Structure 1
Amino acid sequence: MRRIAYGSALTLALAMPAAALAQQATPPATAAAPIEPARLAAARQVIDLIMPPATRAAMIRSLLDPMLTNIRQGMMQAPVFADAIGRDQRARATFDTFMTRQNEKTMAMLEADLPSMVEAMSRAYARRFTVAQLGDLRTFFETPTGQVYMREASTLMSDPDVAAWQRQMMARSMERVQQDVAAFAKDMAKIQQDKK
């Protein structure tokens, strides 16, 4: 579930430049629809500007590190979780080790999958923007403002307001999941009881 959330956040973060700049984007096509080679070539050029090949892995890390930290802190703010982990130093150390390993595995997986992610993003841009619109995007990203935007966009997850929102969301999510798991366990126990 966490890896899905990371992937969704990453996709959202990478899609933001296009969403913010496209005023008349073409409607999305189905995944099976063929993509014009000229659009795909133009889209690849835009993605290379947004995520320069030499710095892609570092960009992913700078985007995800603060988000993963915020998720960890949000989990610790959930009362039931904080009570269970917070009082027991061994439990806290075990949790920290687990989270560190999960973060490392997530980063390694994303870095290994960068080529396929870049290709997927290129195809997504090609489906949604015309060659002319992709040219406009390139023109913008090559301007001084576009350069500043690209440099700063990957730091948005570490902004204090975004970080606070992520922590609050994770704390609420942990409470909801615990309630849902308790209700599910109760329902399953009733089913087992009814079988007897």
Structure 2
Amino acid sequence: MRAFRSSLIGLALLAAPVVQAQTPLGAPAPDAARIAAARPVVDKIFPAGTYRRMMDGTLSKMMDGMMDGVMKMPIAQLARIGGVPQDKLAGLNESSMEQISAIIDPNFRQRTKVGMDAMMASMVDLMDGFEPKVRDALTRAYARKFDGRQLSELEAFFRTPTGDLYARQSMMMFMDPEIMSEMQAFMPEMMKKMPDMAAKAEAATKSLPPPRKIADLSQEERGRLAKLLGVKASDLHDGAATHDEGTK
């Protein structure tokens, strides 16, 4: 399951270059002329099928590298990331998940890879369907950031041999082995720092009041909450909530 979470993080990093293309809330839409001028520019830098080219094979290899890093991490470090208190980790040595799984589940690594590859195939199909919306959003972003003259200059540059090569490779550069190597190294490093990051987040929110319990809610609030959850108000009580959380 942790491997699948890593895969999703990788996908989020992959999508980062175009996420900012979403229209900001309240921002005026660019005029039709600039949209028309931006479209051929986006057609060059983000042609149809870009996500598939970025994700096919390359992302799977990146996830393999990330998983290898996680498998070699000491169990104590993984437990600390999972929120196990430091005093409970005293007896854990430097054994890794890789060493333990070799005994408990010799097929764990292969099972994880096969599962991740299947998930990646589904994600490629999903991104194919999502891509037209991204292209439209990217077109609006270019129309907002560049005026008509600048967009014409970009299009003219993309008609040159160097410009054409740059346009075709600009998005694919994020999947270059040099970039992939750094992204693979990022995941274990982030996991090492996760306990400290979680502690800082907890400290930052310490001054806020704790979440209310069911018993703290008014009758009207209980009714609204029950309606949102699709249950009866009488079914809401703190004991049930605590039990459910403990079984997750």
Tell me what 1:96 maps to.
113
Between 30-39 and 42-51, the greater mean CA deviation after superposition: 30-39
3-state secondary structure, aligned to 1:96: helix
Q: Distance in 1 between matches of 2:190 and 2:62?
A: 13
Query: What are the equivalent positions in structure 2 for 1:25-174 lying under 5 Å apart?
Result: 31-52=26-47, 56-57=48-49, 59-65=50-56, 66-78=58-70, 79-80=73-74, 83-85=96-98, 87=102, 88-174=105-191
TM-superposed deviation, 1:133: 0.8
Structure 1 residues 5 and 37 mapped into 2: Cα distance closer, same or farther (>3 Å)? Answer: farther
Identical residues among aligned pairs (%): 25
TM-superposed deviation, 1:107: 1.0
Please list the CA deviations of residues 11-49 of structure 1 after superposition, one character each: whole Å capped at 9, or x if unmatched.
Answer: 41798xxxxxxxxxxxx9765312111111111121112
Please list the CA deviations of residues 121-167 of structure 1 after superposition, one character each: whole Å capped at 9, or x if unmatched.
Answer: 11111111101111111011111101111233344234332121011
Structure 1 runs not aligned, ≥5 long:
16-27, 185-194
Task: Give the residue type in structure 2 aligned to 1:63.
Answer: M
Structure 1 residues 67 and 174 mapped into 2: Cα distance closer, same or farther (>3 Å)? Answer: farther
3-state secondary structure, aligned to 2:27: coil
TM-score, scaled relative to structure 1 = 0.70
Q: Distance in 2 between matches of 1:159 and 1:39?
A: 32
Tell me what 2:82 maps to.
none
* Structure of greater Rg: 2
TM-score, scaled relative to structure 2 = 0.57
3-state secondary structure, aligned to 2:150: helix
Runs of 4+ in structure 1 deviating by more than 3 angstroms, as ranges, are 1-5, 28-32, 80-83, 174-182
Structure 2 runs not aligned, ≥5 long:
79-94, 202-241, 243-248
Q: What is the Cα-based RMSD across aligned positions, in Å? A: 3.4
Higher relative contact order (CA 8 A, sep 6+): 1
Q: Return the structure number with greater helix share.
A: 1
Q: Distance in 2 between matches of 1:31 and 1:69?
A: 40
Q: Distance in 2 between matches of 1:163 and 1:178?
A: 25
Instruction: Note if contact 2:41-2:154 (Cα within 8 Å) is conserved in structure 1.
Output: yes
3-state secondary structure, aligned to 1:113: helix
